A and B are shown apart, each in its own frame.
Chain A
Amino acid sequence: MQLTGAEIIIRCLQEEDVEYVFGYPGGAVLNIYDELFKQEKVKHVLVRHEQGAVHAADGYSRSSHKVGVALVTSGPGVTNAVTGIATAYMDSVPLVIVSGQVPTHAIGQDAFQECDTVGITRPCVKHNFLVKDVKDIAITIKKAFYLAASGRPGPVLVDIPKDVTQALAEYSYPKTVALRSYNPVTKGHAGQIRKAVQLLLEAKRPMVYAGGGVILNNASSQLTRLVRLLGFPCTNTLMGLGAFPGTDPQFTGMLGMHGTYESNMAMQNCDVLLAVGARFDDRVIGNPASFFRSDRRIIHIDIDPSSISKRVKVDVPIVGYVTEVLDEMLKLIESSNIRPDPAALKVWWGEIKEWQRKDCLKYDKKSALIKPQFVVEKLYELTSGDAFITSDVGQHQMWAAQYYKFDKPRRWINSGGLGTMGFGLPAAMGVQLVNPGATVVCVTGEASIQMCIQELSTCKQYHLPIKIVNLNNRYMGMVRQWQEFFYGNRYAESYMDALPDFVKLAEAYGHVGMKIEKPGDVEGALRDALAQKERLVFLDFITDQTENVFPMIAAGKGLTEMILAEEL
């Protein structure tokens, strides 16, 4: 039987077991929307801006390990989606974005709502397609899902002109797909794995550094077993929080620009470093020249060969799925009777404990003003560390990362690579949809939240009882912090003037709003909000304006050049 292109698209999504499509209709996708309307299996979530659609699909994917799907129209639909696509690309999130395009005969004619979608998105997708023939739709969508989820995951865009969605073709969904030009190496090299294990067993001052790749590849249990078996210290990157349990005594906290003193010192001073699904980026190791040590051996496991020896030369590169490589390493270690030298480990842990005594995350608990760190700590306590936390970008993001201890993977959802303000609320929508009944909290600031605040309306429509913790310091806090440290206190355009009344704003959207101004009211307000299981609650915490994120490493400095709170 012949189907229209639009019918084929929906059939394909059904075949892929897509539960939710996040999108916004428009001229070029009307045929697709008409087919969505005629069926019930694939549910559509109407956002208020296409950026929100892609972030929501992204949050959906990050918290569930499924491929997120977004549907947008041509022209501005696509350009609005670009920020979301670039965000997912930087954090390797598997998404399929279907975009409408003007009819094939109009392409290149500067038609209404036309843009070169494939050209505009090319640098921020894993791959993209323009489907010019209805016969190619099914195979292209199959390829898109395969490419998005396999190897190093990422967003894949499929651009479909309107006439192609109207044209007829025979439909059959391919069971499998193979591309001769795309064969990611998934199994680590046995010889390299042996070498790595040998290095680990001989280490005197070992360190494990785990990133987002561990979470993306569902390798947390393997990583946790390995670290516990060896008795090594372990740090997680911002993207890796939850990969190794945050409350485990072997966890030394996040590392990097705002990482703990002990993690950064251990990274710099270790003799064997095991990097797992992490990429030594500038916010993590600072200046590569200062990071270099001739007496440190580095083992690097990653699915992407181009992540290896990009910023830091490594001694034992292992390309493959983190899960498979760690499984192999565990087998070798478990079947060996050699264990790392306990005496050396004891000395090394002694050094780390000494660094921990700096208590680098301490803050003033007696302040008459609400300290943002205190809000996050209370949130952690009251949710028993088991909530899904999304965040926007800036100081609040760092405080959430530092003070909420994530014991499980896929609980911490933030834009680490691109650093996209406006990510938190729409991402939380996707998280809540795929985890109904779970506590989902968006930790944000008064600047970030306003970048996608229109999604409060979507939350109302779909009854998403997200809790928004707004750490409101009336500043773009991280910008203000840099201006204080590096620009002689000249706070150029970082003050948020003319802020809305967030309580009234939340109420206007049909939600509950609360304003909290005293430290003594923080716990009560959080309890109250968390108890409202059916409602979205917007908690506007008026926090200390001058609070800064510590420790801090200035851009371009080395890992040990940390600015600590007491030093100012």
Chain B
Amino acid sequence: MRHILSILVENEAGALSRISGLFSARGYNIESLTVAPTEDATMSRMTIVTVGSDDVVEQITKQLNKLVEVVKVIDLTDGNHIERELMLVKVRAAGKDREEMKRLADIFRGNILDVTDKSYTIELTGTGSKLDAFLQAMEPGVILETVRTGASGIGRGERILRV
């Protein structure tokens, strides 16, 4: 099953490699990993999307908690949560495709950030599956380049992850 782990970690050199090293050393999956400092500059928040049975995810959580630099870990998928991913996609937009591309971006509530006479660069946010759907809606060969951030997640309502 897919799990989204939210991790507060000391903003120290080497913390990221300790965490990614743990996943590779113990054979756990990382589907995506995002990290950036929080409003408290001494701490970073990481979102890791992983796939595994409940037992495996329980072990992952325990092993993460064991790392000295990890301050807190929660499994967002244990409750209601929001997840978003950002994608930048550069597409061919020339001739008759140009109008169609604009319409498609509008349907998916994407923004066109950059324009040349042959291409658009579109910004899109949403769940991973929405971004997948957008890419699938394109004619093959139209996509020139994509870059995705991986999911960031947060609990709904009063569910708060902080020290």
Indicate if the CB atoms of B70 and A119 lie closer than 8 Å: no
Smallest CB separation, A102 vs chain B (Å): 17
A180 with B59: in contact, given A122-B18, A147-B68, A305-B65 (CB under 8 Å)? Answer: no
Residue of B nearest to A143 (CB): B68
Say yes or no: A180 contacts B71, CB within 8 Å. Answer: yes
Which of B21, B68, B69: most chain A Cβ within 10 A? B68
User: With A130-B13, A181-B10, A181-B70 known to touch, is A123 a contact of B25 (CB < 8 Å)?
Assistant: yes
Contact (Cβ within 8 A) B68 A182: yes
In the bound assembly, the distance between CA atoms of A309 and B65 in angstroms comes to: 15
Q: Which of B14, B55, B66 contacts A309 (CB 8 A)?
A: B55
Min C-beta distance of B91 to chain A, whole Å: 40
Assembly CA distance A275 to B69 (angstroms)? 29
- Chain B residues, CB < 8 A from A540: none
Q: Does A474 count as interface, using CB distance less than 8 angstroms?
A: no
A118 in the interface (beta carbon within 8 A): yes
Counting CB contacts under 8 A, is A480 at the interface?
A: no
Indicate if the CB atoms of B17 and A126 lie closer than 8 Å: no
**What is the distance, in angstroms, from A326's C-beta to the closest C-beta of chain B?**
23
* A contacts with B: majority SS: mixed
Chain B residue nearest to A304 in the complex (CB): B66
* CB of A460, distance to nearest CB on chain B (Å): 40
Residue numbers in B under 8 Å from A306 (CB-CB): 59, 62-63, 65-66
Count residues of A near B (Cβ-Cβ below 8 Å).
Answer: 17
- Please tell me if B31 contacts chain A, counting CB pairs below 8 Å: no
**A-side contacts of B100, CB under 8 Å:** none
| A499 on interface, CB distance cutoff 8 Å | no
Given contacts A118-B14, A305-B62, A309-B55, contact A123 B68 (CB under 8 A): no
Complex CA distance for A123 and B63, rounded to whole angstroms: 12
Say whether, besides A130-B13, A306-B62, A181 and B25 are in contact (CB < 8 Å): no
Residue in A118, A119, A130, A180 whose Cβ sees the most chain B Cβ within 10 Å:
A180
A527 at the interface (CB under 8 A from B): no
Does A310 sit at the interface, judged by CB under 8 A?
A: yes
Closest to A152 in B: B66
Residues in chain B near residue A119, CB distance under 8 A: 17
Instruction: Give the docked Cα–Cα distance between A124 and B62 (Å).
Output: 17
Q: Which residues of B contact A126 (CB under 8 A)?
A: 68
Which of chain A's residues have a CB closer than 8 A to the CB of B18? Answer: 122
Q: Nearest-CB distance from A520 to chain B (Å)?
A: 52
A66 within 8 A of B: no
Chain A positions within 8 Å of B55 at CB level: 309
Selected A-B contacts with CB under 8 Å, 25 pairs: A119-B17, A122-B17, A122-B18, A123-B21, A123-B25, A126-B68, A127-B68, A130-B13, A130-B14, A147-B68, A179-B68, A180-B71, A181-B9, A181-B10, A181-B68, A181-B69, A181-B71, A182-B68, A304-B66, A305-B62, A305-B66, A306-B62, A306-B63, A306-B65, A309-B55
